[in-house]
Amino acid sequence: MLDGMNKTIDSRMKSRRSPGAAVLLLLLAISLLLTGCQRNEPLPFQLTNISGHMPALDFKLVDDQGKAVSGADYHGKVVLLYFGYTHCPDVCPLTLAQLHVVMQRLGKLADGARILFVSVDPTRDTPAVMHAYVNAFDPRAVGLTGDPGAIEALVKRYRSAFTREPATSDGNYEVSHSSAIYVFDRDGNPRVLSTPADSQDELVHDLHLLLSTGANS
């Protein structure tokens, strides 16, 4: 695990810059981190660590401005990925309201993070609907919708599922979906998983690690 992480960090450094520059940067980083938390040690996450256990962030969807976006567009940001839909009156807004509190608790650091709210109900969730919805919660939240196949691929990529439940007589329907929040570092690598059973303090703690000392780019 430790080896794997070292390799990941090494290869990342190498792929970006010349080895000499990488060493210089590493020295600079260590000298700056007076807390003694060294960069090549695994980050002491409190949530379920999924580093290396799930694939990097990758998708082709449409954001709430109607623009085509991919996972790479969010590199440089710590990403909180959550699946839901706007016709969900209880759990989805609760989760987004809680994430807004998390962002507030992170203060200025939160500007380095993005909440990606991915719709599992693209039929009803147009970019315009998503735009009004996510902005009711947090300015750093982005609503993503798009081709049902692309959404299904993303859900499956993170080993989850969603099910459209039978419609009522008036055509309304609910969608069962993953309740987890997947957290990615600035390089799009999955790092931790937050579930409803986990505390908000743990999520704030781990995001703080990723935003202040974590993999940087």
Site string for other proteins, 130-169 (x = CB under 8 A): --xx-xxxx---------------------xx---x--x-
Per CB under 8 A, contacts with other proteins among 11-40 are none
How do 78-84 and 113-119 pair as beta strands?
Answer: parallel
Among the residue ranges 14-22, 33-41, 108-116, 176-184, the one whose residues contact other proteins (CB under 8 A): 176-184
CB neighbours of 15 closer than 8 A, spacing ≥ 6? none
Rounded to 10 degrees, what is the CA torsion of 97, 177, 164, 100? 10
189 in contact with other proteins (CB under 8 A): no
Distance of alpha carbon 205 from alpha carbon 192, whole angstroms: 11
Counting contacts by CB under 8 A, is residue 119 touching other proteins?
A: no
Which stretch, 23-31, 72-80, 126-134, 148-156, contacts other proteins (CB under 8 A)?
126-134
Stretch that binds other proteins, among 45-53, 55-63, 92-100, 202-210 (CB under 8 A): 92-100
- If one asks whether residue 51 binds other proteins (CB under 8 A), the answer comes out as no
- What distances in angstroms separate CA 27 from CA 12, 33, 39, one per listed residue? 16, 10, 10
C-alpha distances (whole Å) from 215 to each of 30, 124, 167 are 13, 37, 45
Indicate the residue among 86 and 145 with the shorter CB distance to other proteins.
Answer: 86
- Where residue 68 falls (left for φ over 0; alpha for ψ -120 to 50; beta otherwise) is beta
Among positions 78, 80, 96, 215, the unique one binding other proteins when judged by CB under 8 A: 96
Q: Rounded to the nearest 5°, which phi and psi values hold at 160?
A: -120, -170
If the CB atoms of residues 86 and 209 are measured against other proteins, the closer one turns out to be 86
Question: What whole-number distance in Å separates Cα of residue 80 and Cα of residue 184?
Answer: 7
Q: Does 48 sit near other proteins (CB under 8 A)? A: no
Using CB under 8 A, which residues numbered 52 to 91 contact other proteins?
84, 86-91
Taking the least distance from each CB to other proteins, the nearer of 27 and 101 is: 101
| Cβ-based burial of 64 (10 A; exposed 0-12, middle 13-18, buried ≥19) | buried
> Applying CB under 8 A, does 100 fall inside the site for other proteins?
yes
Q: Does 171 bind other proteins (CB under 8 A)?
A: no
